[in-house]
Chain A
Amino acid sequence: MGTAVSIDVADPLPAAAVTAMIDDVCAWLHEVDGRFSTYRPDSEVNRVHRGELTADGFSPDLALVLQTCADLWRETDGYFDAYATGRLDPSGYVKGWAVEVASARLAAAGSAHHCLNAGGDIRSRGHNADGKPWRVGIRHPWLPDKLSWVLSLSDGAVATSGTYERGDHVVNPRSGTPATGLRSVTVVGPDLALADAYATTALAMGESGLAWLARLTARGFTSAVVTDDGRAFTSDGLPVAA
């Protein structure tokens, strides 16, 4: 399974510099894939899963991700669970984390204005090439060529978790069965790794995720949600474009 990545660098930099930045992002994402993919037999995650690797042999990135997954498991009272499917699979965190780190690498390399989109997880900084905030649409949960909301972002992250692409792939850890109730959860906030984890968590909770998401606004994370039966909900402060 591959994930498409779109990289939009809007800084007025020489083409060679931008190309080097983009190459670095691609190399980083390939490194993440090699380490964390459950589809690659020799990934570090699969080696842990098979018992071939123990904690003293973890790479720093794996240790960081697993520790953060444990923290999220506590924070969400078990609804974010890297073992929800019955085996270690930290993908719900890794997707967003990888792009958050990629954006940080771009910033360190001198890009103050960029927008990354990896499989629907978006991290932006600054403004687009027209000098305007980045306009990010949220894919309509039933109509693939339509949008349900348009957001306006400068520095920020947008993560969407939903059932319309890969079906019922998010499991409710309490029941062990696919989560139902919410069709699409989008979380907007300062950190894509957390936004991604929170979106996945809310999807796992089902309709009770609505109240849980509302509490995140106090920490700067806003949400847009569509339920299976077509109701829509948004947080106060969701950065909807004018």
Chain B
Amino acid sequence: MRRSTAAAVGTLTGAALILGVRLSVTPAPLAAPPAFEAQPVGDTGAVTDPPATATRDGARGRPTERAGGEAGEQATTRPGGDDPDAEDPDAEDRGAEPTPTRTGGRSAQQPSEEAEAPAGGLRDGTYTGTAATNPYGTVQVRITVSDGRISKVAANYPTTGQSGSINAAAIPRLKEATVEAQSADIDAVSGATFTSESYITSLQAALDGAAR
């Protein structure tokens, strides 16, 4: 049973990232995402409190990719709830344990009415950039111009299962295997610590005896 499961993982992960989703991240319901609040200047908006260490992961360091995903569901192989990832500097899968995205209905917004442009400045209004698709999903940036200056910048982040599965597949995982019971021609045995007593009856002792 386990062997066939392992084979299934091996053949499917290359072709269909969905399997990665099934095994680990469960996409959050797409209905009723939290409403997005426009943020003051300088805040990219959809990212809360980015962990400083997220920037160490080249694939997810950029803000446009970080929240690529869902309210993180916990897989059995993910560090548990009260858990190292809050501070772990090596939590490279931080990007897949995301805060809920806050796009709300923003992606549907269109550029609003335009005011008179001050001489030499930007035209007031709200502008939504072209949606940009990267390997982690689709990002769209919106700026608001007031008094000829950019007053707000915000971005909405992917909420679909697609990015969740991509992030899950980007995380290195151990493959399920089968514990076999084999005997073999070996030079040494690695096991949990031998005490002197247990060594005597251990495989290693048999090897050492044979070598003499």
Secondary structure at the B interface, as helix, strand, loop or mixed, is loop
Q: Is the CB of B175 within 8 A of A165?
A: no
Q: Which residues of B contact A136 (CB under 8 A)?
A: 186-190
Interface flag for A122 (CB, 8 Å): yes
Q: Render A116-148 as a binary contact track against B, CB cut-off 8 A, 1 for contact.
A: 010111101000100000111111110111111
* Partner-contacting stretch, out of B60-68, B78-86, B104-112, B123-131: B78-86
Q: Which residue of chain B has its CB nearest to the CB of A141?
A: B179
Secondary structure at the A interface, as helix, strand, loop or mixed, is mixed
Q: Which residues of A contact B193 (CB under 8 A)?
A: 3, 95, 119-121, 165-166
Q: Render A141-167 as a binary contact track against B, CB cut-off 8 A, 1 for contact.
A: 101111111110000001111111110
Rounded to whole angstroms, the CA-CA distance of A120 and B194 in the bound complex is 6
Q: Which residues of B contact A213 (CB under 8 A)?
A: 174
Q: In the complex, how many residues of chain B place their beta carbon closer than 8 angstroms to a beta carbon of chain A?
A: 55
Interface flag for B11 (CB, 8 Å): no
* Partner-contacting stretch, out of B36-44, B134-142, B159-167, B195-203: B195-203
Rounded to whole angstroms, the CA-CA distance of A71 and B107 in the bound complex is 45
Q: Which residues of B contact A226 (CB under 8 A)?
A: 179
Q: Render A204-242 as a binary contact track against B, CB cut-off 8 A, 1 for contact.
A: 011110111111011000011110001111111000010
Rounded to whole angstroms, the CA-CA distance of A210 and B175 in the bound complex is 10
Q: Which residues of A contact B187 (CB under 8 A)?
A: 8, 115, 128, 134-136
Q: Is the CB of A164 within 8 A of B184?
A: no
Rounded to whole angstroms, the CA-CA distance of A124 and B190 in the bound complex is 12
Q: Is the CB of B188 within 8 A of A225?
A: no
Interface flag for B147 (CB, 8 Å): no
